[in-house]
Amino acid sequence: MTILEIVKHPSPILTTPCEEVTVFDKKLGTLLDDMHETMMENDGVGIAAPQIGKSIRVAIVDFDEEQDVIEMINPVVTATGGSEVDVEGCLSFPGLFGEVERPFFVRIEAQERDGKLYELEAEGYEARAILHEIDHLNGILFDKKIQRIVDPSEFEEEEDDE
């Protein structure tokens, strides 16, 4: 596996809506493996393809060791509910953390690496991470949604980048 370079803000690819994935081949699987490796290397809990320089609708969320990695290809939000404010970071914004309001619950439809369609429901921080990554695929960055910037010393070691 290869550690890829993270695209940092400001870069036009980060604010460009991504293209739908239509080919589910071995190359896509390799890309997902490399994205996961890159995310882990950078202590992230999520990563989207534009963050490694590919403008395609592919993203990963993995913040809980007990759970399988969530691979999202062409994800679509089909329902949301509630609302919650919590602290987020982003691999493309090193050192920036802030409070962002997001739905507490989300339901998505997405494809697996072999193209198989699946549905997933999540809540709390998992829902937040999923929505943060889907925003990336639409060229939307979290800095515009921050209500209050948080100094990392406020939450010490418990934070993770997305």
Bridge-based pairing state of the strands 146-149 and 117-123? unpaired
Secondary structure E strands in 103-145? 105-111, 117-123
Single out the catalytic residue among 65, 133, 154, 158: 133
CB of 23 to Zn ion, least distance (A): 25
Which among 14-22, 73-81, 82-90, 106-114 is the span making contact with Zn ion, rule CB under 5 A? 82-90
CA distance 115 to 130: 19
Which among 33-41, 68-76, 84-92, 114-122 is the span making contact with Zn ion, rule CB under 5 A? 84-92
Local structure of 160: helix, strand or coil: coil
Displacement of CA 16 from its chain's centroid (Å): 15
Choice between 107 and 136, CB closer to Zn ion:
136
Q: Is 90 in the site for Zn ion (CB under 5 A)?
A: yes
Residues that bind Zn ion (CB under 5 A): 90, 162
> Where in the sequence numbering do the catalytic residues fall?
133
